[in-house]
Amino acid sequence: MLWSGWGDPAKAADLPEPLRKLLVDLLGLRPPETPAASFGEVRLPPVALSPLVLTELRGVVGADHVRFDDDTRIRHTRGKSTPDLIRMRAGDGSDAPDAVALPGSHEEVLEVLRLCAAHRVAVVPFGGGTSVVGGLVATRAGFAGVVALDLSRLNRLRSVDEESMIADLEPGMRAPQAERLLAGRGLTLGHFPQSYEYATLGGYAAARSSGQASAGYGRFDDMVAGLTVATPSGTLELGRAPKSAAGPDLRQLVLGSEGAFGVITSLRLRVRRAPAEKVYEGWRFASFAAGRTALRVLAQRGPLPTVLRLSDETETMAGLARPGELGGLDTDAGCLAIVGYEGDDAAARRESAASALAELGGVYLGAQPGESWAHGRYAAPYLRDSLLAAGATAETLETAGFWSNLPRLYDEVRRALHAELGSPLVMCHISHVYETGASLYFTVVTAQSGDPLGQWERAKRAAGEAIIGAGGTISHHHGVGRDHRDAYAEEIGELGVAVLRAVKDRLDPSGVLNPGVLIPSATASFR
């Protein structure tokens, strides 16, 4: 993973000329005056951990698995949000951990947590490092240092129960490795978010990830049959049957907890037979409203495709609806829907869904748009790097709401972004649908001001207030992290916050697990 950007540096792509010209004309885009810092120019704080703590960490995980060299610290600094990358490109490594520990077992994780609690050292569980909500930046105040707990050594496929269709995997396994191992048995998780190439299974669970084929396979939290969690207070073993009426489902305390309650050390995941057939195609709708109605009808009446996503007019025009073809601008394209079918019954579902889409005003565009989308589905973060280098602030935010409220949610977020940023390019798509509602995923591009961090912080705050005011959730799949923490407090209310703090106090009484992330602060305000 590129330390100051996304993914494989060899895959970096220049900004397509038509898109660059559009942004220059529309936003007044200009290249930054100051070049991005080189790796050697990143400023790191001194290691704050005492020699005693470092010695004890080595005693738990082994001397080779405790690292505090500059390279390792830089690569474990923050996540991959645009503010994260702006800071790194400016050479700001002030949030770097003091050391990185790489445990090799559940027992070692438990012992590291016990040790850090005893010495008041903050612990940041680290998987793929792909958080875009500030989920990897611990509060340092009141702590003797910060350790990044890198779970990459916990990367085994422990077992597969093909009768129950359950696979037992460790959390540090990256998604492509999991798919390769499962494919050898003719199986798949079917979970392919945009972060797929670098994200880990533990990160998926900790952030309630949702993949691009969620219409067919469900969200990641739907796949978790059981998990093992190490906490400073001991071990949690959760999930022993497909469904249970034995009290509240405690798995839900861990799913979405972002490392604030414990560290996931194993996952029992539902798997599916790998599909024999995959077909992706494009449909055009005259407007976002017409396309939204079509998606709702399929979600409620069926047949439901495996992949179902709809870009608004702006995203379609700019070409982000099918990133494999970036470079051309279509100002009369309407709204592009990508519809995909996977599995043995793909042909039958496709035929029935096509009839419904045509009746609802859709125009069939053939396989080419769908294949283009499938080819470029992981390319958008690379485009963001190019935009940053060109002088743009480019970032995403997402929410979800009930079908009846989606128009208001869409309008209010766009209105808030325009009010704060002037005339940004605001694009949106629906990529996750349910019988009762859907997600809205916004991409925002604007020319960088003299204070790009403050510029985006104000815009993000305004968008968050619009989301809460319009009845949406502050996050559908990115999580809470630090960035959404105050809005999350508003969403769940004062009593909800008190419940979270009670759980935190019981599982992590010293408060060393990812301090500052997820749990609203004591000064959070409520309407």
Domain range 157-273, CATH class: alpha beta
Which of 404 and 521 is assigned the larger pLDDT? 404
pLDDT in the model for residue 265: 98
3-state SS record for 218-279: CCHHHHEEEEEEEECCEEEEECCCCCCCCCCCCHHHHCCCCCCCCEEEEEEEECEECCCCEE
Indicate whether 427 pLDDT > 60: yes
Q: Shortest CA distance to 441 belongs to which of 475, 417, 490?
A: 475
The confidence score (pLDDT) of residue 330 equals 61
Other CB atoms within a 10 A radius of the CB of residue 432 amount to: 24
pLDDT of residue 171: 98
Express each pLDDT in 130-146 by its tens digit: 999 999 999 999 999 99
* pLDDT value of position 19: 82
Q: What is the mean pLDDT of residues 182-193?
A: 97
Question: Three-state secondary structure along 119-185?
Answer: HCCEEEEECCCCCCCCCCCCCCCCCCCEEEEECCCCCCEEEEECCCCEEEECCCCEHHHHHHHHHCC
Residue type, 277: E
Q: What was the pLDDT predicted at 80?
A: 97
- CA atoms in the 13 A half-sphere facing the CB of 389: 14
Q: Is the pTM of this model over 0.85?
A: yes
Looking at residue 526, its pLDDT comes to: 62
CATH number for the region 44-150 comes to 3.30.43.10
21 pLDDT higher than 90: no
Beta strands in 416-473 (DSSP E): 425-430, 437-447
Range with lowest mean pLDDT among 60-74, 221-235, 306-320: 306-320
| Across 167-194, average pLDDT | 98
HSE value, Cβ hemisphere, 13 Å, CA-based, for 209: 28
The token pair at 251 is 């798995």
Whether 249 contacts 526, CB under 8 Å: no
Query: What's the CA gap between 497 and 251, in Å, rounded?
Result: 18
pLDDT of residue 318: 86
The percentage of residues in the chain with a pLDDT greater than 90, rounded to a whole number, is: 90
Per-residue pLDDT averaged across 344-359, rounded? 94
Side-chain-facing half-sphere of 363: CA atoms under 13 Å: 9
Task: Report pLDDT for 327.
Answer: 55
- The predicted pLDDT at position 14 comes to 84
pLDDT at 245 over 80: yes
Q: Could you identify the residue written with the tokens 């609806």?
A: 321
Q: Are 79 and 131 in contact (CB under 8 A)?
A: yes
Condensed to tens digits (0 to 9), the pLDDT of residues 275-310 reads 999 999 999 999 999 999 999 999 999 999 999 999
CB contact set of 230 (below 8 Å; sequence gap of 6+): 106, 109, 110, 113, 262, 263, 265
Q: What is the pLDDT of residue 324?
A: 61
DSSP classification of residue 3:
T
Average pLDDT (402-408) is 98
What kind and span of H or E run contains 281? strand 278-285
Average pLDDT over residues 306-327: 84
87 has pLDDT over 60: yes
Mean pLDDT (the chain) is: 95
Residue 328 has pLDDT above 70, yes or no: no
Distance CA 310, CA 320 (A): 11
**What average pLDDT does the segment 210-222 reach?**
96
Residue 326: per-residue pLDDT: 58
One-character DSSP codes across 84-118: HHHHHHTTB-TT--SEEE---SHHHHHHHHHHHHH
Please give the pLDDT value at position 465: 97
- Neighbouring C-beta atoms of residue 234, cutoff 10 Å: 12
- Number of residues written out for the chain: 527
**Where are the domains positioned within the chain?**
44-150, 157-273, 278-469, 484-527
Q: What's the rounded Cα separation, in Å, for the pair 109 and 124?
A: 12
CA angle 217, 262, 500 (to 5 degrees): 90
User: According to the model, what pLDDT value does residue 331 have?
Assistant: 59
SS3 66: strand
Classify domain 278-469 by CATH architecture.
Answer: 3-Layer(aba) Sandwich (3.40)
Let me know: does 94 contact 42? Beta carbons within 8 Å. Answer: no
- How far the first Cα of the chain sits from its last, in Å, is 41
